Structure 1
Amino acid sequence: MANAPYDILVIGSGPGGYEAAIRAHQLGLKTAIVEKNKLGGVCLNIGCIPTKALLKSAEIASQLAHISDYGFSGDGASIQADFPAIVKRSRGVADKMNKGVQFLMKKNKVDVFMGKATLLGGGKVSVEPSETMDGETVGEATEIEAKAIIIATGARARAIPTLPVDDKKIVDYKQAMLQTEQPESLVVVGAGAIGVEFAYVYHNLGTEVTIVELQDRLVPVEDEDVSKELARAYKKMGVKVMTGAQVTNVDTSGEGCVVTVETKKGTETLQAAQVLSAVGVVGNVEGFGLDEVGVEYDRGAIKVDSMYRTNVDGLYAIGDVIGGPWLAHVASHEGIVCVENIAHEMGKLDHAPHAVDYLNVPGCTYCLPQIASVGYTEAKAKEAGFDVLVGKFPFAASGKAAAIGDQTGFVKVVVDAKYGEVLGAHIIGHDATEMIAEVVTARALETTAHEVMEAMHPHPTLSEAVMEAFRDAYGQAINA
């Protein structure tokens, strides 16, 4: 017999799933969540959070190599990276966040069912025991019934035939994060956020790194000026960058890997201890009954409307399973909008929520220099027909950047010349990911470039560069 009916059942407890569940409780809805692995999903356990811990260790390693620049005597280079200890610290951070989600579920009276969920149709879901990433068997057989079911099962690394992952010589982001034996050399295939972040980590911890990217530049979704700046920074630090290049074969029969790369100039062979496949992600849509209940897809992702309804009555989907952008904060916002709409239809909320504005999604890459962006690139704004003004302020002219010893990068803004609308912003440099929220908020409030310019920014801060970039768009920059 099924458990007493819930108002909302969420399948998956990543940032989209667990935040949706909490918001559902806040709105007075009886809520449950099913998780087959560990609470917090990929982001908290083997994604966003532990990778930032690894990146911090890599940043410290870089700073130690330049310790004399900050007025300290001694040989910082003599301090050796303890790779297993670094990985252990990142796991500790992930475990702490996992416990935090457990606490939030109890605090918000969300019933948690551990195990693998399968859709049965008619608002019913079966749950069977499953095995976690730690090899632990969790959950017990049961059946749950709910008025509304939200699919939030996330994504996994994309597999391609030329890079058959074996978790030893060819790895994906999961193994790259968990392994405790550091490779002497690494070929990173793919120069999106995952690729350039792991390239930074491994390089700064002493691995010889080569990045191979099919497109003609690093981080190809970013503004072209940002890609050029990152390429300069990586080449300066000693990372080999190959763009406009494709890995066509990896021979793992010997001691290491022999990587065949096709370039514009011909075929090149690379020798490496390990290869990291960082060619993107794909939504987890298989194996839990979506096809059996008749869910429709769009290019491999679950098809939904602006309120995340699928074509199946009472069934919703959010996050990576509905396609890009594959970002934790996007899933969280989608989850809240989805739940608020359900609550509105159930009479628990007196207004319908606004749909997510996908033109105002911030993108962040946490390598150093960090990258953050929102809105149109310069090229995309021109393609869309805008008459654009472009402003740029280099951190080389920032007093705060000089004081902290990192003047790499710039703030670039794109403005509509006719109305002063803030079309986009692109930041590369120290703490770029902390600065982008100002422009996201400005765009959400339909603030003009002049209003940002006239808003007093504290001195000395890195955020002054945002104000100065908007000033520069109008030929009014003071400090550059």
Structure 2
Amino acid sequence: MAIEVDVAVLGGGPGGYTAAIRAAQLGKRTAIIEMDKLGGTCLHKGCIPSKSLLRSAEVYATLLKAASYGIDIADDAVSVNFDRVQQRKEQTVDQLYKGLQSLMLKHGITIVKGKGRIIGPSIFSPRSGTVAVELPDGEMESVVSKHLIIATGSRPRQIPGLEADGKLILTSDDILQLEKLPASILIVGGGVIGVEWASLLNDFGVHVTIAEAADRLLPTEDEDVSKELTRLLRKRGVTIHTSATIRPDTYADGSEGVTIAAATAGGELQLEASCMMVSVGRVPNTEGLGLENTDIRTESNGCIAVNANYQTNERHIYAIGDVIGGVQLAHAAAHEGLSAVGHLNGGKPEPVEAHRIPRCVYSRPEIASVGLTERQAKEKGLDVRTAKLPFQAIGKAIVAGETDGFVKVIADKQSNDIIGVHIVGLHATDLIAEASLAQLLDATPWEIGQSIHPHPTLSEALGEAMLALDGMSVAF
């Protein structure tokens, strides 16, 4: 007997489970089809476990400089117990996983564990979109729905000739399962994931080398942010090579680790490390979904093509999250899920421009941004004015002993609209929420500057940066 629901969600990551919860809240009979565990990459292989490791690394780095806070610790009293670091990570994931399972029960959402494949029209449904699910025991189940939401996520992209083996060549999935810290590591790719792992492992005492093909780290972020992050990582001892293209044909491994060459403007560069992590983006999980049984169209990069309402060519089938490309972030997927459900429920949700989705990097220091970079704004022909407020001018940052970084504000000279906000510094990923709200409400820099920010807090940096656009900051 087929499982019949109003909304079926293929994939139980942040986009999928958020969509399912909203559909259930709207009174829809809802089911999630998930082949692994609810929570997806974010909970089990990405956001949460990596942030747990980053937190442990941050605590360790802070203890190593405890003397600067007036706390004396014997030199041999601080060390990394990596087994317990990993245990804490697993406990964190498990706690959130149990909470997510409780949410499913609370909202009456049916969970079908197995690999789903879309089949064409059946005796149960005159439209394509029925999902045949292969259960763990090999049996088959059918899920029939009025609406289907594809939220199957993505996986790490691999470089041909440098396929991961889980030992010497690692993906961001593999590295989460390290049993011990390597003496050194080569990180191929200086984007968000590469930078976070570089910061984390450096704090744990690993010698880190980054090889990035672009001319700077975090090439999609504002250039001032990239420059500051590069300066701070190098100050901590991270070796950084930009405009460096890895040559897979030169890869070799042995008892001492790995060696590989990179092509640079100055000639060939020889790199070696105990192991390497390849962090060069992600690819959508569309294989084996049965898309050929539908009229769903995919882009040249393999992502599912959707309209502004996240509908595919089969209008009763939606797609959200990493599988459609765009901004590949958990909160972006969740918002897309809410919008898709709102639309299938008859609403008219406002489309969100990609640059208005906050972007976060959980390195030390943190980086966060929303809106356009200065270069992007100028390429659009906008006449802009900018201001930077250093955290050195903020009392709470001095109290915390973390004064690196700044808040940068970009505004349109003509309209006075806030075009972009870029933060590098302590708790940047929390501070960016105010800037995101400001853009949503179309607030001006003057309005944010006039808002009373409590003292002493790091939030003062954002308010003072807004005032600095008119030369009115009283902090700097």
> TM-score with structure 1 length normalisation?
0.95
Residue 359 (structure 1) aligned with residue 355 (structure 2): yes
**Residue number in structure 2 paired with 1:197:** 196
Shift of 1:294: 3.2
SS in 2 for 1:308: coil
CA distance in 2, matches of 1:471, 1:103: 46
What amino acid is aligned across from residue 320 of structure 1 in structure 2?
A: D
Shift of 1:78: 4.0
**Structure 1 residues 373 and 264: CA distance shift in structure 2, 3 A:** same
**Residue number in structure 1 paired with 2:461:** 465
Residue 167 (structure 1) aligned with residue 143 (structure 2): no
SS in 2 for 1:311: coil
1:410 is aligned, of 406, 412, 418, to 406
**Residue number in structure 1 paired with 2:325:** 323
Work out whether residues 67 and 76 of structure 1, in 8 Å CA contact, stay in contact via their aligned partners in 2: no
CA distance in 1, matches of 2:138, 2:336: 28
**Residue number in structure 2 paired with 1:39:** 38
**Residue number in structure 2 paired with 1:126:** 132
CA distance in 2, matches of 1:212, 1:252: 18
Shift of 1:75: 2.8
Residue 149 (structure 1) aligned with residue 148 (structure 2): yes
SS in 2 for 1:173: coil
Structure 2: segments with no counterpart, 5+ residues: 121-127
What amino acid is aligned across from residue 453 of structure 1 in structure 2?
A: G
Moved more, 255-264 or 274-283: 255-264
Shift of 1:463: 0.9
Shift of 1:386: 1.3
List per-residue Cα deviations over 1:32-60 (Å, max 9, x = no partner): 00110011000011110111100001101
Shift of 1:162: 4.0
**Structure 1 residues 139 and 40: CA distance shift in structure 2, 3 A:** farther
CA distance in 1, matches of 2:92, 2:386: 40
What amino acid is aligned across from residue 272 of structure 1 in structure 2?
A: A
Shift of 1:438: 0.4
CA distance in 2, matches of 1:205, 1:123: 48
Query: What's the % identity of the aligned pairs?
Result: 43
Shift of 1:76: 5.0
Shift of 1:253: 4.5
What amino acid is aligned across from residue 264 of structure 2 in structure 1?
A: T
Residue 282 (structure 1) aligned with residue 283 (structure 2): yes
2:378 is aligned, of 367, 382, 400, to 382
CA distance in 2, matches of 1:158, 1:365: 19
Work out whether residues 374 and 425 of structure 1, in 8 Å CA contact, stay in contact via their aligned partners in 2: yes
List per-residue Cα deviations over 1:3-25 (Å, max 9, x = no partner): 2x211000111100000000001
**Residue number in structure 2 paired with 1:225:** 224
CA distance in 2, matches of 1:9, 1:376: 36
SS in 2 for 1:247: strand
CA distance in 2, matches of 1:272, 1:324: 33
**Residue number in structure 2 paired with 1:298:** 299
**Residue number in structure 2 paired with 1:446:** 442
Residue 475 (structure 1) aligned with residue 471 (structure 2): yes
Work out whether residues 32 and 111 of structure 2, in 8 Å CA contact, stay in contact via their aligned partners in 1: yes
What amino acid is aligned across from residue 8 of structure 2 in structure 1?
A: L
Work out whether residues 194 and 279 of structure 2, in 8 Å CA contact, stay in contact via their aligned partners in 1: yes
SS in 1 for 2:293: coil
Shift of 1:356: 2.2
Structure 1: segments with no counterpart, 5+ residues: 131-137, 345-350
**Residue number in structure 2 paired with 1:397:** 393
List per-residue Cα deviations over 1:413-472 (Å, max 9, x = no partner): 000111210100000000000000101100001111111111111111111111111111
CA distance in 2, matches of 1:254, 1:303: 46
Residue 251 (structure 1) aligned with residue 252 (structure 2): yes
CA distance in 2, matches of 1:76, 1:199: 25
Paired residues, number:
466
Moved more, 80-89 or 111-120: 80-89
SS in 1 for 2:105: helix
List per-residue Cα deviations over 1:149-172 (Å, max 9, x = no partner): 100000000011142211110000
Moved more, 291-300 or 366-375: 291-300
Shift of 1:405: 0.5
Work out whether residues 135 and 141 of structure 2, in 8 Å CA contact, stay in contact via their aligned partners in 1: no
What amino acid is aligned across from residue 133 of structure 2 in structure 1?
A: V
**Residue number in structure 2 paired with 1:64:** 63
SS in 1 for 2:233: helix
Work out whether residues 371 and 428 of structure 1, in 8 Å CA contact, stay in contact via their aligned partners in 2: yes
CA distance in 1, matches of 2:276, 2:233: 18
Output the aligned Cα RMSD: 1.3
CA distance in 2, matches of 1:155, 1:287: 13
Shift of 1:379: 1.1
Shift of 1:139: 8.2
Work out whether residues 118 and 125 of structure 1, in 8 Å CA contact, stay in contact via their aligned partners in 2: yes
List per-residue Cα deviations over 1:127-178 (Å, max 9, x = no partner): 1124xxxxxxx78531111011100000000011142211110000011111
**Structure 1 residues 15 and 76: CA distance shift in structure 2, 3 A:** farther
Q: List aligned pairs for 1:331-370, cutoff 5 A.
A: 331-344=333-346, 351-370=347-366
**Residue number in structure 2 paired with 1:133:** none
Residue 429 (structure 1) aligned with residue 430 (structure 2): no
Moved more, 83-92 or 110-119: 83-92
Q: List aligned pairs for 1:45-84, cutoff 5 A.
A: 45-75=44-74, 78-84=77-83
CA distance in 1, matches of 2:154, 2:205: 30
Work out whether residues 64 and 77 of structure 1, in 8 Å CA contact, stay in contact via their aligned partners in 2: no
SS in 1 for 2:271: strand
List per-residue Cα deviations over 1:236-268 (Å, max 9, x = no partner): 111111111111132124541012111211112
Work out whether residues 20 and 335 of structure 1, in 8 Å CA contact, stay in contact via their aligned partners in 2: yes
Shift of 1:62: 0.8
Shift of 1:65: 1.2
> TM-score with structure 2 length normalisation?
0.96
SS in 2 for 1:51: helix
What amino acid is aligned across from residue 392 of structure 2 in structure 1?
A: A
What amino acid is aligned across from residue 269 of structure 2 in structure 1?
A: E
**Residue number in structure 2 paired with 1:311:** 313
CA distance in 2, matches of 1:298, 1:18: 25
What amino acid is aligned across from residue 126 of structure 1 in structure 2?
A: A
Work out whether residues 326 and 354 of structure 2, in 8 Å CA contact, stay in contact via their aligned partners in 1: no
Work out whether residues 115 and 139 of structure 1, in 8 Å CA contact, stay in contact via their aligned partners in 2: no
What amino acid is aligned across from residue 297 of structure 1 in structure 2?
A: T
CA distance in 2, matches of 1:368, 1:70: 18
SS in 2 for 1:149: strand
